[in-house]
Amino acid sequence: MIDEILLQVEKPGRYIGNEINMVSKNPSDVDIRFAFCFPDVYEVGMSHIGLQILYFFFNRRNDTYCERVFAPWTDMEELMRKHNIPLFALETGDSINKFDFVGFTLQYEMSYSNIINMLNLAGISIWSKDRTEDEPIIIAGGPCAYNPEPLADIIDIFYIGEGEVNYDEFLDIYKQYKKQGKSKKEFFERAAKIEGIYIPCFYDVEYKENGEIKEFKRNNINAPKKIKKVIVKELNNVFYPDKQLVPLIETVHDRVTLEVFRGCIRGCRFCQAGYIYRPVREKHSERLINDAKSLVKYSGHEEISLSSLSTGDYREFKELSQGLLEEFSKKNVNIALPSLRIDAFTLELMKKVQEVRKSSLTFAPEAGTQRLRDVINKGITEKEILDGCRLAFEGGWSRVKLYFMVGLPTETEDDLAGIAKLSTKVIEEYYSIPKEKRSKSICVVLSSSCFVPKPFTPFQWEPQDTYEQFLKKQKFVKANLEKKQVKYNYHEVQLSSMEGVLARGDRKVAKAIVKAWELGAKFDGWNEHFKYDIWTKAFEDTGLSMEFYANRKRSYDEILPWDHISIGISKQFFIKEMEKAKKGEITLNCRTECANCGAKCFEGGVCYEVQN
């Protein structure tokens, strides 16, 4: 039946497994079956480094079999429902409703409707309170898990932090309880004592008449008052796979990924990742080069990507780039760099990279004026931006991508006009170079995203623009562009508005998510599938206000839905940073001066370096 169906769908390679380096085990020989679910299509999920790490991390255990599950595309789902085929894992083709764990990685709020769809397609109860002892335990982690509340009535367990730290202990305890025939509740009560584990059913939420949270309290003595994230203190000794799964069809990123470091020293006030992954912890360049050799050998990929939030801040970048180029340039393996901070950019680095293959360069000024860059603590000047672009042009590049945000706190029309003005200055910088030294015609690609206030950032209390305001601002930027060499791309405004609703949602939002799915929502992260009217109706039908979650300013003393989660950074630090933002004051990076954010409590990384 499956073979017949695969002949009728687009890209059957999404569903067959059997990739190079896939782990094969006999399910009857293991004690724990874990379905690692990525709530998007195969091509997106297979490009995610977290999946690659945890897949091999779990499967290194002899008692555990981790298998992959992706959201089937609409054509496949239609046929699966028609023929009563439940959602299955790629490794064995077995239905996941009989697994011990079904785990979701929460990378993007707009994938929440896919989570509901995948549970339903698997024949698993959507609401955690309805699940029987025979159904899998639903667990979730990832960046969106730092505000777990929109899914708190759906997910059984949230893992807050980095998986390599406590998953072994977690699985060991489950294995013991399973053999003893203990109930889910008994296991949950024991698991709640593991640092980083959040069991939503052990907590109750009361609300005020105005919709704000009145009280968040425990209903089980085994549950901690606060759930503190867990981190790997020393990255050089942590598990990292010596091989990667090699997909049989083209994916978003067909390349080896090297994780250079975790965290960020910069403290941009809009960036959730920069805070939730603190403190910065680096890997030695020697370890990375050895990892690269193994990964390239066992994958055959022709590109190596360096993964981090700000690669230019890596202290051993010179040694790493030289080592990688010496090892791989003659083998025609490209070294791909992510978006770079322009102030960390050097001509020497550019020349090294372009020795193998030259592509466009991406910079992220984020704001069009210095005033607003100081508000968001970007920490770079217009001169540094233009000097960086000039270095790029002199190095032979003629295509530059510039990333901006619209809707940032305190933004004015002057700031929006500054985006267009900066693009003009970049082009003028190109033409200031002698003609014989220029490469070819210049192309500047502007891309503007819509600002979404996120939990655990200084801007977590700020209102988000409405989609009508976003649209007006995008049109304003476009109208102010002066040069034909500038191409302007911008995000779907209603999609970003909906992301803003879900990002700061509370437990009540789960009703709207499920209702939206019932009305047909799925693959909401894809513009062609996202239907804003479905979501507005879902909120109306459940008596919830989208504006309440997205478009209102919160007071510092309001209880936020994620206040019971601790990332190590104090709320007082975020308040201080918000007040500095209002004054346009910057905070220096962590290696220049410790801002006492609170991340020292982890006793590792850059905080430890500064402290000692």
- Are the CB atoms for 34 and 66 separated by under 8 Å? yes
pLDDT tens for each residue of 436-458: 878 778 899 999 999 999 999 99
> DSSP state, 349?
H
CB atoms within 10 A of CB 291: 19
Q: Report the pLDDT value the prediction gives residue 356, as an integer from 0 to 100.
A: 47
Q: Looking at this protein, which amino acid is placed at residue 487?
A: K
Model confidence at 361: pLDDT above 80: no
- Are the CB atoms for 51 and 105 separated by under 8 Å? yes
* Distance of alpha carbon 441 from alpha carbon 138, whole angstroms: 53
Q: Report the pLDDT value the prediction gives residue 517, as an integer from 0 to 100.
A: 98
Distances, alpha carbon 28 to alpha carbons 321, 504, 536, in Å: 45, 42, 47
In sequence order, the β-bridge partners of residue 32 are 64
What share of the chain in percent tops pLDDT 90? Answer: 80
- Are the CB atoms for 113 and 514 separated by under 8 Å? no
Under the banding of pLDDT at 50, 70 and 90, the label for residue 156 is: very high
User: DSSP characters for 12-34?
Assistant: GGGS----BT-----GGG-SEEE
User: DSSP characters for 533-560?
Assistant: HHHHHHHHHTT--HHHHHSSPPPTTSBP
* Distance of alpha carbon 145 from alpha carbon 142, whole angstroms: 5
- The overall average pLDDT reported for the chain is 93
Token readout for 87 is 């959602």
Token readout for 157 is 């367990």
Mean pLDDT of 161-188: 97
Model confidence at 516: pLDDT above 60: yes
CB proximity list for 82: less than 8 A, separation 6 or greater: none
Q: Which residue has the tokens 């941009």?
A: 268
Under the banding of pLDDT at 50, 70 and 90, the label for residue 612 is: very low
Token readout for 111 is 């994938």
pLDDT tens for each residue of 402-434: 999 999 999 999 999 999 999 999 999 999 998
Model confidence at 58: pLDDT above 70: yes
Q: Report the pLDDT value the prediction gives residue 191, as an integer from 0 to 100.
A: 98
- Are the CB atoms for 227 and 565 separated by under 8 Å? yes
* Distance of alpha carbon 218 from alpha carbon 203, whole angstroms: 4
Mean pLDDT of 31-57: 97
pLDDT tens for each residue of 76-120: 999 999 999 999 999 999 999 999 999 999 999 999 999 999 999
Q: Report the pLDDT value the prediction gives residue 379, as an integer from 0 to 100.
A: 86
In sequence order, the β-bridge partners of residue 35 are 67, 102
Residue 464: name the closest of 495, 488, 489, 490 by CA.
495
Domain chopping of the chain, boundaries: 2-228
Lowest mean pLDDT among 31-35, 340-344, 471-475: 340-344
Name the pairing type of β-strands 213-218 and 203-207.
antiparallel
pLDDT tens for each residue of 242-286: 999 999 899 988 889 999 999 999 999 999 999 999 999 999 999
Alpha helices in 83-233 (DSSP H): 112-121, 163-179, 184-191
Lowest mean pLDDT among 98-112, 175-189, 190-204, 376-390: 376-390
Alpha helices in 38-100 (DSSP H): 42-45, 49-59, 74-82
CB atoms within 10 A of CB 105: 23
Q: Report the pLDDT value the prediction gives residue 153, as an integer from 0 to 100.
A: 98
Under the banding of pLDDT at 50, 70 and 90, the label for residue 349 is: low
CB half-sphere exposure, 132, CA atoms < 13 A: 6
CB atoms within 10 A of CB 578: 18
Q: Looking at this protein, which amino acid is placed at residue 605?
A: G
Q: Looking at this protein, which amino acid is placed at residue 426?
A: V
- Are the CB atoms for 433 and 526 separated by under 8 Å? no
Estimate the crossing angle of helix 184-191 against helix 163-179, to 10 degrees.
Answer: 150
* Distance of alpha carbon 323 from alpha carbon 171, whole angstroms: 38
- Are the CB atoms for 303 and 333 separated by under 8 Å? yes
Q: Report the pLDDT value the prediction gives residue 197, as an integer from 0 to 100.
A: 98
Q: What is the phi/psi pair of residue 25, to 5°?
A: -135, 160
**pTM of the predicted protein model:** 0.95
Token readout for 24 is 């094969």
Q: How far is CA 400 from the centre of its chain?
A: 24
